[in-house]
Amino acid sequence: MSDKKTIAVLGGTGKEGGGLALRWAHAGHMVIIGSRTAERAEEGAAEMRSTLGDTAKVRGLANLDAAAAADIVVLSVPFSGQQATVQEVAPALAGKILIDVTVPLVPPKVSRVQLPEGGSAVEAVQKLLGAGVRVVSAFQNISAHHLTKLDVDVECDVLVCADDPAAAEEVVELAHEIGLVAWNAGPLCNSVVAEGLTSVLIALNRRYKVPGAGIRLTGLPRQ
């Protein structure tokens, strides 16, 4: 069991980030909702406290302040805002783990895999930040809808990719703490699969008329 950490979720007022933040707060972590303005962030935090009860340690701050106050920073913003948000918070990330949840969806064709030039979106983030930030890719395939229902067993495994194996293990553990099964899926470049898989799952949802397809890994030692 890891110690309780302070986790900032940038884009934590959105569905996916909000679902992750809710579950980490529920697991006892100190959570900071990050948003473009402190007001919007605090609104999101207040809503979360009303769901979880007043003992929940959730507050809201503007993205840069949220990142500065956290041990671990989670990036869950639309693809179109990914680079700008990373550039804004970069000064607060030195030595920290940055968990990138961004899915490179290109509306309106979100059921088509449309990867950025040069591979995965997260590799561009690592390049922008340099080796001093421990960038990890994870959680792209988890339905936000499932995350917000705290009593639901999420039927989707998490692929964790990172060039820093110790950072990957920390994120695997953070996933376990919120009831998710997670696997160290190799180096950061392997994130292409996790990033693209979300579009494949959207295509499957449409084709088979289901709300939330997911994946389970097989042949691995499930605990």
Closest approach of its own copies to the CB of residue 212, in Å: 5
Using CB under 8 A as the binding rule, whether residue 104 contacts its own copies is answered as: no
Using CB under 8 A as the binding rule, whether residue 22 contacts its own copies is answered as: no
Show the site string, 178-197: x = touches its own copies by CB under 8 A, - = not.
-----xxxxx-xx-xx--xx
Instruction: Say if residues 60 and 44 touch (Cβ distance below 8 Å).
Output: yes
Residue placing its CB nearer to its own copies in the complex, 6 or 190: 190
Cα-based distances in Å from 160 to 37, 62, 180, 223 = 30, 27, 12, 17
The Cα 212–Cα 214 span in angstroms is 6
Positions 142 through 181 that interact with its own copies (CB under 8 A):
155-156, 159
Q: Which stretch binds its own copies (CB under 8 A): 27-35, 54-62, 73-81, 114-122?
A: 114-122
Closest approach of its own copies to the CB of residue 211, in Å: 7
The Cα 38–Cα 32 span in angstroms is 11
What six digits make up the tokens of 1? 């069991």
Residue placing its CB nearer to its own copies in the complex, 81 or 212: 212
Phi, psi (5° rounding) for residue 162? -165, 150
Using CB under 8 A as the binding rule, whether residue 95 contacts its own copies is answered as: no
Q: Which is nearest to 60 in space by CA: 23, 99, 11, 97?
A: 11
Closest approach of its own copies to the CB of residue 120, in Å: 8
Using CB under 8 A as the binding rule, whether residue 216 contacts its own copies is answered as: yes
Phi, psi (5° rounding) for residue 206? -70, -45
Match 């919007």 to its residue by tokens: 40
Match 């900071």 to its residue by tokens: 32
Using CB under 8 A as the binding rule, whether residue 110 contacts its own copies is answered as: no
Instruction: Say if residues 160 and 185 touch (Cβ distance below 8 Å).
Output: yes
Residue 166 DSSP one-character state: H
Residue choice 76, 102, 137, 199 for contact with its own copies (CB under 8 A): 199
Residue placing its CB nearer to its own copies in the complex, 68 or 115: 115
Which parts of this chain interact with its own copies (CB under 8 A)? 111-115, 119, 155-156, 159, 183-187, 189-190, 192-193, 196-197, 199-200, 203-204, 207-208, 210-221
